[in-house]
Amino acid sequence: MTRTALVTGGTRGIGAAISKALKEAGYKVAASYAGNDEAAAKFKAETGIAVYKWDVASFDACADGVKKVESEVGPIDVLVNNAGITRDVPFHKMTLDQWNAVINTNLGSLFNMSRQVIEGMRARKFGRIINISSINGQKGQFGQVNYSASKAGDIGFTKALALETARGGITVNAICPGYINTEMVQAVPKDVLEQKILPLIPANRLGEPSEIARAVVFLASDDAGFVTGSTLSVNGGQYLA
Ligand code: NDP
Q: What is the pLDDT of residues 16-53, one digit of tens each?
A: 999 999 999 999 999 999 999 999 999 999 999 999 99
Q: What is the pLDDT of residues 60-69, one digit of tens each?
A: 999 999 999 9
Is 90 exceeded by the pLDDT of residue 15? yes
Give 151-162 pLDDT, tens digit per residue. Answer: 999 999 999 999
CA distances for 161 relative to 83, 112, 187, angstroms: 19, 14, 36
Mean pLDDT score across all residues of the chain: 97
- Over residues 100-104, the mean pLDDT reads 98
**125-129: average pLDDT:** 98
Q: What is the pLDDT of residue 187?
A: 82
Predicted pLDDT of residue 186? 86
How far, CA to CA in Å, does 134 sit from each of 93, 110, 143, 175, 237? 23, 14, 15, 7, 14
What pLDDT, on the 0 to 100 scale, is given for residue 126? 98
Contact 141, 181 (CB under 8 A): no
Question: How would you write 3-33 as a 3-class SS string?
Answer: CEEEECCCCCHHHHHHHHHHHHCCCEEEEEE
147 is catalytic: yes
| Burial class of residue 194 in the structure, from the number of CB atoms within 10 Å of its CB (0-12 exposed, 13-18 middle, 19+ buried) | exposed
The percentage of the chain sitting over the pLDDT mark of 70, rounded to a whole number, equals 100
pLDDT tens by residue, 3-14: 999 999 999 999
Q: Is the pLDDT of residue 184 over 80?
A: no
Q: Give ligand 1 pocket residues (Cβ under 6 A).
A: 8-9, 11-15, 32-36, 39, 55-57, 82-85, 105, 132, 134, 177, 179-180, 182-185
Q: How many residues does the chain have?
A: 241
What distance, in Å, lies between the first and last C-alpha atoms of the chain? 37
Instruction: Single out the catalytic residue among 27, 33, 147, 179.
Output: 147
Is domain 4-234 in CATH 1.10.150.120, yes or no?
no
State the pairing for strand pair 4-7/50-53: unpaired
**Calpha distance 159→152 (Å, rounded):** 11
Residue pLDDT, tens place only, 187-217: 888 999 999 999 999 999 999 999 999 999 9
Separation of alpha carbons 212 and 207, rounded Å: 8
- Measured from the Cα of 206, ligand 1's closest atom is 40
Pocket test of ligand 1: the residue of 182, 185, 238 to mutate, having most ligand atoms within 8 Å of its CB, is: 182
Residue 60: other Cβ atoms inside 10 A: 10
* Confidence (pLDDT) at 120: 98
The radius of gyration of the chain's CA atoms, rounded to the nearest angstrom, is 17
The pLDDT tens digits of the residues spanning 88-99 come to 999 999 999 999
**Domains of the chain, residue spans:** 4-234
